[in-house]
Chains A and B, each alone.
Chain A
Amino acid sequence: MTPAPLHIAGERLMLDPAGLLAWPARRTLVVGDLHLEKGSAFARHGSLLPPYDTRETLARLHLALRRWRPARLVALGDSFHDAGGAGRLAAEDAQTLHRLLDGIEMLWVLGNHDPTPPEGLPGTALEEHRDGPLLFRHQAQRGPVKPGEVSGHFHPKGTMPTRCGGVTRPCFVADAWRVMLPAFGAYTGGLDAADPAIAGLFPRGARLFLLGKDRLYSLPMGPGRTRAATA
């Protein structure tokens, strides 16, 4: 795993190919939309999806925590797929989560899927989290922002043209002001970074970092370039 450095607001951040962002100076690890218990949320509505998504997501998170050994973990909102999600955690998964967060300061930024703090879990819930020049929030704010906004919400993915056709992967989207994280959950799909909803936040263009097995693949995105969105 080779992380890629990203400089924003004078800080050196590391983009992890697993889809997380590390801030070594502050021993902080940041993770985007986890959507835990998405499977059981669907099951409530009659789609009995395999109930292994939470365990899969936590297993991936476990690897990242071992790699970075952070003092603080920031989850950028939509950590649970819905407000009742934390209550539906299987006992075993809840235990895993407790174990993972042991000794770590956990900050739950609230998202649109989980507007209330998760019940029975360690950590602090907050609307936004500011640390030095960096501002952690769920959804990027429209219009100009001060350099240093870190957000999730949109589940960006990008397509790299190769000689064997386009290869699509979840990606980071970054410019000099903001960085957007890909969704982290096992059941999270993606939205094309060229979609106006994302591209509109980067009026001067952006750089996409597509997630690979061991490294990131960087790809520029022109300003305001919009294509017909593909599902």
Chain B
Amino acid sequence: MGTLPEPFAAWFAGRGWTPRAHQVALLRAAEAGESALLIAPTGGGKTLAGFLPSLIDLAARPRPGLHTLYVSPLKALAVDIARNLMAPVEEMGLPIRIETRTGDTPANRRARQRDDPPHLLLTTPESLLLLLSNPEAGTFFAGLGAVVVDEIHALAGTKRGDQLALGLARLASLAPAARRVGLSATVAHPEPLRAFLSPSGRAEDVRLVQVRGGAAPELSVQLPAGHLPWGGHMGLASAPEIYRKIREARVTIVFVNTRAQAELVFQALWKLNDDALPIALHHGSLTVEQRRKVEAAMAAGRLRAVVATASLDLGIDWGDVDQVIQVGAPKGVARLLQRVGRANHRMDEPSRAVLVPANRFEVIECAAALEAVRHEELDGDPPRPGGLDVLAQHLLAMACHAPFHPDDLYAEVTRAAPYAALPRRDFDDVLCFVEDGGYALRAYDRFRKLFRDAEGMVHVRDQRVARQLRMNLGTIVETPMIKVRLRGGPVLGEVEEWFVSTLEPGDNFMFAGQALRFEALDAMSAIVTRGGEGELRVPTYAGARLPLSTWLAARVREILHDPQKWRLLPGPVRDWLRLQGKRSMLPEKDGLLIETFPRGGRWFLVAYGFEGRLAHQTLGMLVTKRMERAGYAPMGYLATDYVLAAWSAFEPTEVESLFEEDILGEDLEEWMAESSMLRRTFRNIATIAGLIEKNHPGHEKRPRQMTMNSDLIYDVLRKHEPDHILLRATRQEAAGGLTDVARIGLVLARAKGRIRHLRLDRVSPLAVPALIEEGREWVAGGAEDALLAEAAALVEEVTGGEEIFAETLAEVTEGVRVRAGVVDKPRHRERHPRRNRFVRSAPKSVTGA
């Protein structure tokens, strides 16, 4: 063999292994002192490949000091990898010390690590920045030989990735000799990842080692035995089939798309679980201890199945998983493959996965995903520029580390790929913002955080500023959460604060796989008891639903349009499409099909855009605004991944003009500035940039005076300094992150001159799923004030101006029906069962919810 030195060759031989080609390739890159990106499917010995050069180097030339830094997006992963590396190191008797450093590392161990660093240190992007902000970072990292970035595909393109890229750039200044190794799952576009990893920000400076996936995954689609649901996203109709599959396999991961769905699927499976199979639940809102318990049980082989959300997308390998079930449409091909790869972590055996679509459109989507996998066609977003808020945090951290000259730091920052194109003006404005707020009104000279000396070097004012930075470091802005605690018992997990605010004592909801009854709210947590009954609500979480990826959308359109491809679809779906062809027409591959039809005393307009729910939602807002101007009196609309449906009092006749392209310029700007989306973006940016203090989940709430509503700041700043760097950052992020606006542009451009408007006398088959969908938006008809006036008048009318009539009011408003909030709280994300009243009551079995 001769590729590995002793004792490694013997160790490999002892297990009957031969070094794999990519492991050798990484070794060669290391010998040449080059950075390398390894792209391989899971199960390829990727992690060992990343560390092998470091282990060999240390075995040959033992020396004290930090040799290799490993960064992973998950704390648990760092801990697990450390454990896995221990085995070979001990078996070969290598003089190598391996330690982790995360938010959980006790202070005394951190202090010891600072004085006597281990050879291999495993950490997270946040802990890395903390280390870099220390004045001693220079000596700590001076001898660094290598940086290994794991799951790099999950970091690049996110704010955590921006932060890591800046951290790597600083590391390169402290330890210029350190080479970089990136480990990534299979991605569509490796170039941006190479650039992300590159010390120069240029892709060509990183060697690419790509492992073609071993055996192709075996994917199949499972339909429910009975009726194929028209709507719904939960996939509960297929619970018996899912259960049967679990029984037939050794260990199954059941992936779902949202935490609410996880709760419901878990519940449904346990109802069927006559064999008392050990089936567990895993999602991001359960307590860490609970999740660790489930993971440990899984690793020990004590579970037959776990129902999980994206919380298990990354992470620890469990060799025993032999089946993955994806319930609900996968929404993106790369994500599907990532999940499928969680089964059977051995490269030469195929992964086995079953897709369980929840409704008819999802059947088509699954067929499209299968086709895309067959053609090895992945989806992926293009890289976006690094966030200015992350840069602000970084600049302060660097000042805490040591005084810097702005010219040098600018040069360093632009060597990080996300900031390669950063204009100097933006850099300077961000620096001014960190110094004293950077406002045109120079009011805060006394309170500046940074000051410049005669040589132009930037210093941090005092230790208090450094302390404050360390408290607020990181780019994850938590939605305010409230703990759920059993009365007299343990904490079960957390739900979003707004969800608790909608609960009255005695309300029942489902959480952590149990039916719970809400009893009271104490200072820190929602107190619940077991055994809730009746109508159970399920907490939902912000941003839970991912939109359909552009790639998949195009494939769905292709399948719909081409009857040749219908052989991919099961019988009932084919019949459904045929019926659509007869009653109306099938959407064309290019162009935009719009149907209008009367139903229940109103007119419905359904546009088949296939550009994802977020895009359709924005489009709905814009189109209904135009409908209002045209006098059609729109009453509401609804967006799914596939269609936009709007309904109005009068028949929309000039349909083409509603979808003209200029809709974007004309209304969008105005809508954007006022939109809750921009306010949310501003809140995140202001928090990350350090303008407002972070929420520390689980910590005592600050006195009321200390928390500051970011909306008030947004309004004042927008009025008095609309060009402030934070507002520029907000607009930049909204425009860039708002791929759905780009996608609306796509729909409209495609439709130009090719709008097919069909006026039907009744609902078309393809429109049915949309009409039984939940989550409708109501047209605000002007503004909030109009709504207030209407509600006030209604109350007045019913009560004749009586003073005290809370009861009556409740009834009236019940009639008025409070629905999804356009304002204040993200209530529109909630799917309140009682609100189903709006849904032309489809039986539960049909909606699947």
Contacts and interface: CB of A to CB of B under 8 A. Distances in A.
B784 interface: yes
B708 A167 contact: no
B50 to A, nearest CB: 40
Contacts of B693: 47
Given A161-B813, A162-B818, A163-B787, A52 B441 contact: yes
B449 A225 contact: no
Contacts of B669: none
B816 A163 contact: yes
Contacts of A113: 705
A53 interface: yes
Interface string A193-231: 000000000001101001011110111111101011111
Contacts of B724: 50
B638 to A, nearest CB: 14
A217 B708 contact: no
A167 B521 CA distance: 23
Contact of A51 (B439, B791, B809): B439
Nearest to A191: B704
A84 B823 CA distance: 36
Contact of A189 (B449, B709, B821): B709
Nearest to A90: B443
Interface in B376-396: none
A227 B498 CA distance: 13
Given A46-B468, A162-B816, A204-B804, A187 B821 contact: no
B444 A51 contact: yes
B820 interface: yes
Contacts of A168: 823-824
B716 interface: yes
B441 A165 contact: no
B604 to A, nearest CB: 19
Interface stretch (A36-44, A102-110, A118-126, A128-136): A36-44
A230 B806 contact: no
A219 B808 CA distance: 12
Interface in B91-105: none
A49 interface: yes
* Residue in A160, A169, A214, A221 with the greatest tally of chain B CB atoms within 10 Å: A160
Given A42-B708, A50-B439, A204-B804, A165 B821 contact: yes
B485 to A, nearest CB: 15
Contacts of B817: 163
Given A161-B816, A164-B780, A225 B806 contact: yes
B792 interface: yes
Interface string B775-796: 0001110001101111110011
Given A160-B792, A230-B497, A50 B822 contact: no
A164 B449 CA distance: 44
Contacts of B708: 42, 47, 49, 187, 189
B17 interface: no
A162 B709 contact: no
Interface string A153-167: 000000111111111
A44 B464 CA distance: 12
B827 interface: yes
A138 B349 CA distance: 75
Contacts of A39: 443
Contacts of B441: 51-52, 90
* Residue in A44, A48, A161, A230 with the greatest tally of chain B CB atoms within 10 Å: A48
Contacts of A229: 501, 521
A228 B500 contact: yes
Interface string B689-733: 011110000000000110111001101110111001000000000
A46 B790 contact: no
B480 interface: yes
A53 to B, nearest CB: 6
Contact of A167 (B709, B779, B784): B784
A39 B441 CA distance: 12
B720 A52 contact: yes
A101 interface: no
B809 A220 contact: yes
* Residue in B712, B799, B805 with the greatest tally of chain A CB atoms within 10 Å: B712
Given A161-B818, A189-B712, A230-B497, A166 B824 contact: yes
A212 B712 contact: no
B275 interface: no
B790 A50 contact: no
Contact of A163 (B790, B823, B828): B790
B788 A160 contact: yes
B599 to A, nearest CB: 20
Contacts of A43: 437, 443-444, 447
Interface of A: 39-40, 42-44, 46-53, 55-56, 90, 113, 159-169, 186-189, 191, 204-205, 207, 210, 212-215, 217-223, 225, 227-231
15 contacts: A44-B447, A47-B691, A48-B433, A51-B437, A55-B720, A162-B784, A162-B787, A163-B791, A164-B787, A164-B822, A205-B806, A213-B785, A220-B805, A220-B806, A231-B497
Given A160-B788, A164-B780, 14 more contacts: A40-B444, A49-B692, A49-B708, A50-B716, A52-B439, A161-B791, A167-B784, A167-B787, A168-B823, A212-B788, A217-B789, A222-B809, A229-B501, A231-B497
Interface of B: 433, 436-437, 439, 441, 443-444, 447, 449, 464-465, 468, 480, 497-498, 500-501, 503-504, 521, 690-693, 704-705, 707-709, 712-713, 715-717, 719-721, 724, 778-780, 784-785, 787-792, 795-796, 799, 802-807, 809, 813, 816-825, 827-828
